[in-house]
Amino acid sequence: MEQSTKSYNKWIIALSVVIPLVVALLFKVKIDLELPVFLPPIYATINAFTALFLIVAVWAIKNNNRRLHEQLMKTAIICSVLFLVLYVLYHMTSDSTKFGGEGIIKYIYLFVLLTHILLSIIVIPFVLITYVRAITADFDKHKKIAKFTFPLWLYVAVSGVVVYIMISPYY
């Protein structure tokens, strides 16, 4: 079991480094393309569904419904990937929106935004390690790391929605 987990380590490290770097680089790329839909409410909704899937998945495993847990977690991963693709696509085709609030609300927004961005980078290896431990049936280690992965990932999903709600009046 340990050997099968180790075979994924290079992928986990590579993806944990490459994903944030590629996202940062793609922010520098601007494509002159008019999208047929306004993406921020779509990817914010995807973040909300990710949070919901995570919560229900924890409920499912606590109620010994491993199959539902597995399906919900795979769906949460797919949602996170879809969110990331749409988020990058939006920022490649649109100028960034500046937050227009002032005073304490601006500092709250900046705190939520910065912690969202930082934790969205930090959570990548946690999600990958947790997933690998599940698919390699290393459930004791899976359970141990999932206790950290779940709150981090949930915070990233929920704070993404909060950031959208706070900035939406300024689009």
**27 within a domain of the structure (yes/no):** no
Chain segment 21-31, per-residue pLDDT in tens: 999 998 889 99
Predicted TM-score (pTM) of this structure: 0.93
pLDDT of residue 3: 57
- State the CATH number of the domain containing residue 76: 1.20.120.80
- Taking 70 as the threshold, does the pLDDT of residue 2 lie above it? no
153 assigned to some structural domain: yes
> Is residue 6 situated within a structural domain?
no
Helix (H) or strand (E) holding 13: helix 2-28
User: Range of 99's domain?
Assistant: 37-170
46 and 160 Cβ atoms separated by less than 8 Å: no
What does the DSSP 8-state code read for residue 94?
A: S
Residue 1 has pLDDT above 60, yes or no: no
pLDDT band at 104 (very low <50, low <70, confident <90, very high): very high
* 85 domain-assigned: yes
Digit-coded pLDDT (tens) for 115-169: 999 999 999 999 999 999 999 999 999 999 999 999 999 999 999 999 999 999 9
Q: Tell whether 84 is covered by a domain.
A: yes
Amino acid at 108: I
- Give me the number of domains the chain comprises: 1
